Amino acid sequence: MSLKSLPELTLSHSAMSVLEAAEAAGRLTLVGSVEELVELATPEVDPAGFYEVGYEAQGMGYFAEAKVCRTKNGIAANYLEAYMRRRDPDCMLVGDDRATDKPTYASRYGTSFDPLRTETLDWLKEQPIACFFFETGLPSNPLSAVAICPANAGFFALGLAMLQGIVPLEKVRAAGANYFHGAVVYVAPPFRHTHFEGKQVVVHNRRFEEAGLHELFSYNLYPGPSAKKGVYGMLLTLGERAEEPWTTAHCSTVQVVTPYENVTTIMHEGASGGGKSEMLEQMHREADGTLLLGTNTVTGDARTLTLPRGCDLLPVTDDMALCHPALQQNGSVGKLSLIDAENAWFVRVNHIDSYGTDPHLEAITVHPPGPLLFLNIEAQPGATSLIWEHTEDEPGVPCPNPRVIVPRRYVHGVVSGPVTVDIRSFGVRCPPSTKQLPTYGILGLMHVLPPSLAWLWRLVAPRGHGNPSIVDQGGMQSEGVGSFWPFATGRKVDQANILLDQILDTTATRFVLIPNQHIGCWKVGFAPQWVAREYLARRGSAPFGANELMPARCPLLGAHKETLTVEGQTIGKWFLDVSQQPEVGPEAYDQGARQLTVFFHAQVRQFLHEDLDPRGRQIIEACLAGATYDDYVAFTEA
Q: Which of 183, 241, 250 is nearest to 217 (CA)?
A: 183
User: Average of pLDDT values for 260-287?
Assistant: 91
SS3 percent helix, strand, coil of the chain, rounded to 5, is 30, 25, 40
Query: Does pLDDT of 550 surpass 90?
Result: yes
Q: What percent of the chain has pLDDT over 70?
A: 97
The domain limits of the chain are 3-60+86-241, 247-336+421-634
Amino acid letter for position 99: A
Query: Does pLDDT of 355 surpass 60?
Result: yes
By the 8 A CB rule, do 248 and 183 touch? no
Distance CA 216, CA 185 (A): 5
By the 8 A CB rule, do 163 and 405 touch? yes
pLDDT digits (tens, 9 = 90+) for 78-134: 999 999 999 898 899 999 999 999 999 999 999 999 999 999 999 999 999 999 999
The alpha carbon dihedral of 347, 348, 351, 354 has a sign of: positive
Distance CA 536, CA 448 (A): 11
pLDDT score at 308: 86
Provide the pLDDT confidence category of residue 174 given band limits of 50, 70 and 90. confident
Q: Which of 229, 278, 224, 185 is nearest to 83 (CA)?
A: 224
**Which one of 3.40.50.10420, 2.60.40.420, 3.20.20.60, 3.40.449.10 gives the CATH number of domain 3-60+86-241?**
3.40.449.10
Distance CA 190, CA 152 (A): 12
Residue 304's SS3 state is strand
CA distances from 253 to 106, 224, 451, 457, 523 (A): 38, 20, 19, 18, 25
* Chain Cα centroid distance, residue 542: 30
Q: Which of 307, 318, 268 is nearest to 284 (CA)?
A: 307
Residues 6+ apart with CB under 8 A from 111: 105
pLDDT score at 6: 81
pLDDT digits (tens, 9 = 90+) for 449-474: 999 999 999 999 998 776 555 554 55
Distance CA 572, CA 288 (A): 22
Say how many C-beta atoms besides its own lie within 10 A of residue 304's C-beta.
17
Mean residue pLDDT across the chain: 93
Amino acid letter for position 198: G
Pairing of β 202-207 and β 183-187? unpaired
CA distances from 175 to 179, 184, 638 (A): 5, 18, 50
Residue 28's SS3 state is strand
Distance CA 128, CA 53 (A): 13
Q: Name the class of domain 247-336+421-634.
A: alpha beta
DSSP state of 72: T
